[in-house]
Amino acid sequence: QSALTQPASVSGSPGQSITISCTGTSSDVGGYNYVSWYQQHPGKAPKLMIYEVSNRPSGLSSRFSGSKSGNTASLTISGLQAEDEADYYCSSYTSSSTLVFGGGTKLTVL
């Protein structure tokens, strides 16, 4: 199972919005609404930000939103803040009953 494709890096200024894409195939992202997004700060464990494409865990900021079109899922962060600077990973359930992650995207807040 190949990793999902994410851009290596994205950047934005405070207050702006950014979108991170996550491209898979019809056997994973395109075939199921089981896409999640995780935020990871250096030296820390990942944190769930979005599950099942567009659902936010309880208590999470509404600045984070998710969507999907075809084989590509997206994470959008609006009103960018300094503390959003981190690595972001997408994941998807697959037709083999496994889980596949994206390669990760480093978000820099300028």
Partner 1 sequence: QVQLVESGGGLVKPGGSLRLSCAASGFIFNDYYMSWIRQAPGKGLEWVSYISNSGSTIYNADSVKGRFTISRDNAKNSLFLQMNSLRGEDTAIYYCARGHPLGRDAYAIWGQGTKVTVSS
Q: How near is the Cβ of 50 to partner 1 at its closest, in Å? A: 8
Complex with partner 1: residue 99 or 110, whichever CB lies closer:
99
Complex with partner 1: residue 13 or 97, whichever CB lies closer:
97
Q: How near is the Cβ of 28 to partner 1 at its closest, in Å? A: 11
Query: HSE on the CB side for 62, CA within 13 Å?
Result: 0
Q: How near is the Cβ of 38 to partner 1 at its closest, in Å? A: 7
Complex with partner 1: residue 30 or 46, whichever CB lies closer:
46
Tell me the three-class secondary structure of the chain, residue by residue: CCCEECCCEEEECCCCCEEEEEECCCCCHHHCCCEEEEEECCCCCCEEEEECCCECCCCCCCCEEEEEECCEEEEEECCCCHHHCEEEEEEEECCCCCEEEECCEEEEEC
Residues that bind partner 1 (CB under 8 A): 1, 3, 34, 36, 38, 40, 45-48, 51-52, 55, 57, 89, 91-93, 97-104
Complex with partner 1: residue 15 or 93, whichever CB lies closer:
93
